[in-house]
Structure formats: C-alpha cells, structure tokens
Amino acid sequence: MKKSGIIPKILLGLTVLGSLLSAREMITPKDCIDEANHKKHNSGLITVNPFKTPIEMYSPKEINSEKKNALVITTRGYNNYVMGVNYTEGRFEDNINKLKNDFNTYVALVDCPKDFYRAHELAKQKLNGKIDLFYEEGHGSPNGLMLSMNWGFGKENLERKLSGYYNKGARGLINACSTASDDIDENFAQSLANATGIPIEGGIISIGAGTHLTEDYHLQEAWSTKKGFDKERNSGYFESFDGNRYGIHVSDDSTYKVFSCPVDNGFKLPKDFDPKKIFHYDTETPSKKNFKTVYPKDYKVKD
C-alpha cells in the first residue's frame, strides 16, 4: 500500500513542477523591469530547467516569405543580467530590434551548452526553414562565450555539426570580446565557423558596449581609437603589460597622472608606461577595425 501511494505523489509533484517551469518559459524585455520577475528569471535554477529550454524571447507570429531568417542567441552577463535587453525601457536593444525588423527572427536566451543546439532546432522549426544570419550577443574570450554565471560555451562544446541548419550563403556575427583573437591558434570564432560551415565575424580584442550593426549587417564600434592624447581633454589611455587599461591625464608641464585604473594600485603609473603608446577615443568616427571574419576550413571565399 505504501508503494502504491508513493507513485501518485511523485506524479503530482512532477506535474506541479512542470507547471511552475512552464509558467516561466517565456521572458520578455518587459518582464525584466519588474524586480520580482527579474530575480525569478535570472536565478541560477533556470540553467538546469529540464523541461523548457532554451527560453524563447521572441518568435514571429507570421513568416514573411520575402525575408530571410535570422537566429539571435542572447546570453547572461554578470549577476545573470540578460544581454541585449534594455531593462530601463523594457525592450530589446537596437541591434536585436534591427534584426527583428529586417528578418524573420527567432530570439533565444541560452543558459547552458545544450541550449545552444536546441536554439538551432527551434529556430529552424519556428521560422519554417534554415537560417541565413546568426547573431550572438554576450561576453566572450578567444576560447568561448559566457552563457551565464553557471555556464560557459567553448570549443570543447562544439562536438556536433550545425551546418544542416544554415542556408547556402549564410554568415554569423558574434558581438562579444576577443572571439576572433589571433592570440591563440584556433579561436572560438574559427571553431564555430567550422561547426556551422559559415563565415563568422567577431571581435579581435575587447570591444565596447557601443558596438552596433551596420546597414549591411556587420559589426562596428561607435568610435575609433587614435594615437596620442585627446587635445581637448588632455587625457588618453595606456594598455599595460599587466593586463590593465590606465586612464592618463597630462598637464601643461608634461606631468602624467592616472585618473582611472581597474586595479587598486594607488593610482600609480604602471612600470611599463610609455607616453608614445597613449591613445584616445574619437567618438565622431565609427570603426570596424577591431573585427574580422574567419572562414570554415575548405571554404571558398568569393573574389
């Protein structure tokens, strides 16, 4: 009798749990504003949700046959902040909105490695066809992507081929730092290009939050860097061998002082400081120089 009583309780428990998880299947930018919803949707628990993954943030109600298809994968940043979402205004950021307007776009929040593959499956299903443009927004490095505070996605996770999800002529964009860096033999952008069979464009160094999509869907920073000090502000930046970027102010008598630094060093000049290596940001001139496109192995590049 005890054994027969356990089964209904287990089934009831699974039903209730399934209902709770199903209730938080959808997350919209508007949901992110409310503090209670923010905590609920951004808890670490959601990364082990076995029922509804990844989280569908947007799927078109109707498919426009004259438009191409785009898969957008967004991830979580520090404190599990959802990237690509404007929390203040309750909407997607401009890059994702541009893709929503110009493509049949499926947007998925990917929390853990298996969701990366599931997002491709769902995009092909919901868009009634293969993908023409891949776009990812988040934090990155030469070795991979940050999916959440609990998970990363690196080259070792690309054990399956994804080329079957993409149309001929498709390409991808990774709006994240250093994924196309030349500092290692095979960076993450290259590994993803090999897995998807499409060219992948990514950052070769750390890129700023002001990175936006051009009219022809390429990555571009809202500013460019120029050698020397900003003459109007008498300030600039120095990249030290210690891995930190120092903000340097120069006085009229050529005295240098540190005004910003991410490490607690008492605002001292780094030992390798060289005023000839100072640079500053020109906010009037957008730049594409910190991005490059890598191609899959044996891919034929059109002239």
Residue-wise pLDDT tens digits, 132-184:
999 999 999 999 999 988 899 999 999 889 999 999 999 999 999 999 999 89
Determine, yes or no, domain membership for 3: no
> 204 vs 135, 174, 184, 186, CA distance in Å?
17, 11, 11, 12
Q: What pLDDT does 220 receive?
A: 94
Q: 110 is in which domain, residue-wise?
A: 15-222+287-294
Q: What pLDDT does 89 receive?
A: 82
Q: Are residues 146 and 275 in the same domain?
A: no
Buried b (16+ CB within 10 A) or exposed e, 184-197: eeebbbbbbbbbbb
- pLDDT more than 90, % of the chain: 58
Residue 48's CB: how many other CB atoms inside 10 A? 11
Mean pLDDT of 231-254: 90
Determine, yes or no, domain membership for 180: yes
Would you say residue 29 has pLDDT above 80?
A: no
Determine, yes or no, domain membership for 27: yes
Would you say residue 8 has pLDDT above 80?
A: no
Helix (H) or strand (E) holding 115: helix 113-126
Q: Which residue has the higher pLDDT, 171 or 27?
A: 171
Q: Which residue has the higher pLDDT, 223 or 135?
A: 135
Determine, yes or no, domain membership for 184: yes
Residue 84's CB: how many other CB atoms inside 10 A? 24
Determine, yes or no, domain membership for 103: yes
Would you say residue 277 has pLDDT above 80?
A: yes
Q: Are residues 153 and 267 in the same domain?
A: no
Q: What pLDDT does 52 receive?
A: 52
Q: What pLDDT does 169 receive?
A: 96
Q: Are residues 85 and 125 in the same domain?
A: yes
Determine, yes or no, domain membership for 215: yes
Q: Are residues 118 and 218 in the same domain?
A: yes
Would you say residue 261 has pLDDT above 70?
A: yes
Mean pLDDT of 261-271: 80
- pLDDT more than 70, % of the chain: 81
Mean pLDDT of 203-217: 88
Q: Are residues 275 and 158 in the same domain?
A: no
Would you say residue 240 has pLDDT above 80?
A: yes
Q: Are residues 155 and 61 in the same domain?
A: yes
Q: Looking at the 3D structure of the chain, how many domains does it have? A: 2
Over the chain, what is the mean pLDDT? 82
Q: What are the DSSP E strand ranges found in 68-112?
A: 69-74, 85-86, 91-92, 104-109
Contact between 123 and 106 under an 8 Å Cβ cutoff? The reply is yes
Q: Are residues 278 and 162 in the same domain?
A: no
Q: Are residues 211 and 237 in the same domain?
A: no
Mean pLDDT of 186-207: 95
Mean pLDDT of 24-30: 35
Buried b (16+ CB within 10 A) or exposed e, 122-135: bbbebbebbbbbbb
Q: What pLDDT does 178 receive?
A: 92
Contact between 203 and 179 under an 8 Å Cβ cutoff? The reply is yes
Determine, yes or no, domain membership for 89: yes
Q: Are residues 37 and 184 in the same domain?
A: yes
Q: What pLDDT does 253 receive?
A: 92
Q: Are residues 201 and 277 in the same domain?
A: no
Would you say residue 217 has pLDDT above 80?
A: yes
Q: Are residues 73 and 185 in the same domain?
A: yes
Q: Are residues 84 and 61 in the same domain?
A: yes
Per-residue pLDDT of 40-80, as tens digits, reads 444 433 333 333 568 899 999 999 999 999 999 999 988 88
| Residues facing residue 55 across a β-bridge | 109
Determine, yes or no, domain membership for 5: no
Q: What pLDDT does 303 receive?
A: 57
Would you say residue 270 has pLDDT above 70?
A: yes
